[in-house]
Amino acid sequence: MITFHNPLHQGHAPVHEFYRGERVPCFEKPARVDYVEEALRLRGHDLAAPDVDSAAVLSEVHSQRYLAFLQTAWQQWVSVDPANAAVQPFPSVWPVRTLRSDVEPDNFVARLGLYSMDNGTPMAAGTWAAAKAGADAAASAAARVAQGARASFCCTRPPGHHAGPDFMGGYCFLNNAAVAAQVLRNQGAGRVALLDVDYHHGNGTQSIFYERSDVLFISIHGDPRTEYPFYLGHADETGAGQGAGFNLNLPLPAGTSAATWFSALEAACQRIASSGADALVISLGLDAFEGDPISRFALASEDFTRLGKRLARLGLPTVFVLEGGYAAAELGTNAVNVLDGFEQA
């Protein structure tokens, strides 16, 4: 399977984050993709550099104001004080209910809070370049499928599915899966199905497509009453306006077994099969793995091969986009198991 990787991902390498109120080393780190790339090469998959510029598509899924901020955020931070080049910026205030979000503050930390859903998405000097190259990889993978390939894989970090129209969060800055879906739509797909199998709900993707009927969004994830991102991902969120009926959330309790998880996958696949979709995008989060340090599902490595085989049975041109998965050493095996299962089928 052709894989588009991100040659700039290592430039996004923040040192620490805040987890449960404590400062800890980043779970989302360059080694994650290094392991995946190694496993891909060992099993004979081709890796290619991005060959499509995602700039035009990014403006279709994200607001111009957000993109303008993100592109220059690090320079803005350093311009506040040159010593900030050695300091990671974190937001400390957010425009919650009754506060205004239409006016962009002059204060940098306030601007950062305006465009952030949490303080768990650390930035570094190379964040924009890495995120943009990842979006280029997603656009390239989707373009290859639109041109006739059966499937492709976007192997990138930082991930994307928590990034909404005008905010970052959950390690995500640009929504790579949304970029892939939009490229497929722009290049002729009447409807795209987008299935998110990450342990954490793809709140950003849902927000981007919630009022659209041309992209069916389905997510299998930990129950938001107890699991991040907490404030979206409930079963009663089914779409609005023209998108009514085109959003399906399948939340599952922490500790869910593989058998129960695959029952939810079957429901998702049946909905995709009946949707009239012309193409499929998979937000391939691999943190449903039983050994993941920040998630609580129970899939074993061999279950990811089964996942790939079931997705292949849908018979749709498919773009896989890497999302979460924080058991870094096992991430390569689990990712390539999905791809090999898909190809074997």
What is the per-residue pLDDT across 98-119, written as a single tens digit (0 to 9) for each? Answer: 999 999 999 999 999 999 999 9
In whole angstroms, give the CA distance from residue 218 to residue 197: 9
At 219, which CATH number?
3.40.800.20
Whole-number pLDDT of residue 305: 98
Handedness of CA 121, 90, 17, 253 (dihedral sign): negative
Cα-based distances in Å from 205 to 82, 108, 255? 35, 26, 25
Is 162 assigned a catalytic role?
yes
Mean pLDDT by 10 residues, the chain (345 residues): 96 92 92 95 93 98 98 97 96 96 96 96 97 98 98 98 98 98 98 98 98 98 97 98 98 97 98 98 97 94 98 98 94 96 94
Question: For residue 283, what are the β-bridge partners?
Answer: 196, 321
Whole-number pLDDT of residue 39: 95
Please report, to the nearest 10 degrees, the dihedral formed by the alpha carbons of residues 53, 55, 56, 61 taken in order: 120
Find the length of the chain: 345
CA 276 to chain centre: 24
Of 27, 12, 279, nearest to 134 by C-alpha is 12
Whole-number pLDDT of residue 260: 98
Of 151, 62, 61, 76, nearest to 108 by C-alpha is 76
User: Does the predicted model carry a pTM greater than 0.95?
Assistant: yes
Residue 15's Cβ-count burial label (10 Å; 0-12, 13-18, 19+) is exposed
Amino acid at 131: A
In whole angstroms, give the CA distance from residue 31 to residue 43: 19
Q: How many CB atoms lie within 10 A of CB 31?
A: 13
Instruction: Enter the tokens of residue 161.
Output: 């599915």
Cα-based distances in Å from 323 to 21, 122, 173, 198? 24, 16, 12, 7
Catalytic residue among 45, 62, 162, 221: 162
Residue 241's Cβ-count burial label (10 Å; 0-12, 13-18, 19+) is exposed
Whole-number pLDDT of residue 53: 98
Counting the structural domains of the chain, the total is 1
In whole angstroms, give the CA distance from residue 14 to residue 12: 6
State which residues form the domain around 281: 2-344
In whole angstroms, give the CA distance from residue 310 to residue 24: 37
**Within the chain, what is the greatest distance between any pair of CA atoms?**
56
CA 246 to chain centre: 19
Whole-number pLDDT of residue 119: 93
In whole angstroms, give the CA distance from residue 160 to residue 5: 14
Of 253, 221, 226, 261, nearest to 237 by C-alpha is 221
CB-based contact 317:1 (threshold 8 Å): no
Cα-based distances in Å from 167 to 162, 170, 299, 305? 9, 10, 31, 33
Whole-number pLDDT of residue 21: 83
